[in-house]
Amino acid sequence: MYVDLGNALDAEPRLTREALERLDERVADAHDRIDRLRDEGAHGYASLNLPETVDPAAIRRAVARFDDPAAVLTVGIGGSALGAATLTEALGTDLDAYVLDNVDPTHVAALLDTLPLSDTVVHVVSRSGTTAETLSNFLVVREAMADAGVDWTERTLVTTGPSGNLRDLAARHDLPVLDVPAGSPGRFSVLSTVALPVAALAGHDIEALLDGARAEADRLTGSLFEAPAYAYGATCYALERRGAGVNAMMPYAESLESFAEWFAQLWAESLGKDAVGQTPARALGATDQHSQLQLYRAGPRDKLVTLVRPRERPDVSIPETDFDGLDYLGGGSLGDLLEAEFRATEASLAASDCPNVRIEVDRIDERGVGELLYGMEAACTLYGELAGVETFTQPAVEWSKRAARGLLGGGDVDADDAVPEKRRLVID
Ligand SMILES: O=P(O)(O)OC[C@H]1O[C@](O)(CO)[C@@H](O)[C@@H]1O
């Protein structure tokens, strides 16, 4: 992973190289603390050890029982689903990979109509084993399989924590179970039993994914000027402290759109604490040059734009044309056009004093994706240390979960008391 901070400096909000050099002293201290807590296997910090602690052979053994499926369905939500979505989209696959991470009945019904249920592997993932959306969707999926005459117990792999409803259900039906990695919140566990089984089923080189992550781990030193991940995390932190409350994650690769969604959970759920945090915006190049770029360039001076791209990618030629005004495109390629648009947008942001960081990987392959995912996790961990927040908890999400359970009569609050009377001003 390569990080170019050039356009992040001397923009608006203003961050100088001297300020980064001063911050580097705190980065060194933060790195020492992160290293110590990784050695102790402390909650969350242990995530950065996953390239060493994950057993890819065990993951391959767990999926070997499924004979060449036509489709794989991940049933999970948040970090229990976004990792699989990111890997299968980024790396592509002959397997039809689907993710069920919402309980929209229209969507669920349509997906079940699409799935070749007798030739689909279902990977149900929940660290807690109690998440309402995941358990509800799984009950619906297994019912659909049973109705189709499919033995769902032969088509299901479970990844979950040491206790909870999902662990109990797996035990009752003798389902194959993988353990979620101890000490890794869902948003930090893509490089583990949470998402790697789907990558393995899709035929990807999960060892190369871990090699890429390991390469990025090896570059974590006590200076942001030596460690790309820390350079990014420290710059994001420093800019947020100076007013860049929004970080638009804008990959120039269609296959990284889900990565931006994964990044949004990682950044928001880790750093949005104690009235601070940097809001991740999901964008996509070149598409959002015709959309959000207007706001990035001419809106409030409160944004950082993160531009991500591979240095190499397959290409598609643009045929020659005799249409007036199009000859500059004909005979070129879509890759040339995307490259020109990337560089023009990067320069356009700089010209409008909007700070932007360029992140590159050699290719969007297993190694490059492993570098990128691990790099973002390390960047987030450093940012959390510098900001002094509890990076690896998410207490603020519990209120609505508890209220929803209460409304359904499943919680420790009476349904009538689950949510306060809503203020109303109805315009109809
Ligand atoms: O893996 P679980 O326990 O089902 O949780 C799913 C997601 O829900 C959250 O716990 C938030 O509610 C996320 O942190 C997590 O990724």
- For the structural domain made of 55-180, what CATH number should be given? 3.40.50.10490
pLDDT of residue 88: 98
Q: 71 CA to middle of ligand 1, Å?
A: 24
**What is the CA 305 to chain-centroid distance, rounded?**
17
Q: Where are the beta strands (DSSP E) in 225-377?
A: 246-251, 279-282, 303-310, 356-361
pLDDT (tens digit, 9 = 90+) per residue, 211-222? 999 999 999 999
pLDDT in tens, 290-310: 999 999 999 999 999 999 999
Task: Write down the pTM of the prediction.
Answer: 0.98
In this structure, CATH architecture of domain 2-36+210-387:
3-Layer(aba) Sandwich (3.40)
| pLDDT grade for 35, boundaries at 50, 70 and 90 | very high
- Domain(s) labelled CATH 3.40.50.10490 in the chain stretch across 2-36+210-387, 55-180
338: left (phi over 0), alpha (psi -120 to 50) or beta: alpha
Atom of ligand 1 at shortest distance to CA of 398? Answer: 12
- By most ligand atoms within 8 Å of CB, the mutation choice from 80, 103, 165, 270 for ligand 1 is 80
Give the number of the atom of ligand 1 that is nearest the alpha carbon of residue 180: 1
Cis check for the bond before 13: say yes or no (omega within 30 of 0). Answer: yes
Report how far ligand 1's centroid is from the alpha carbon of 236 (Å).
25
Name the active-site residue from 269, 360, 366, 385. Answer: 269
Active site residue 269: yes
* Reported ipTM exceeds the 0.95 cut: yes
Q: What is the 65 CA–ligand 1 centroid distance (Å)?
A: 27
* Amino acid present at 358: R
DSSP conformation letters of 171-240:
HHTT--EEEPPTT--GGG-TTTTTTHHHHHHTT--HHHHHHHHHHHHHT--S-TTT-HHHHHHHHHHHHH
Give yes or no for a contact between 364 and 90, defined as CB atoms under 8 angstroms apart. Answer: yes
Say whether pLDDT at 94 is over 90. no
> From the CB of 186, is ligand 1 less than 6 Å away?
yes
Q: How far apart are the first and last CA of the chain?
A: 52
User: Ligand 1 mean position to 393 CA, how many Å?
Assistant: 10
Is 290 among the catalytic positions?
Answer: yes
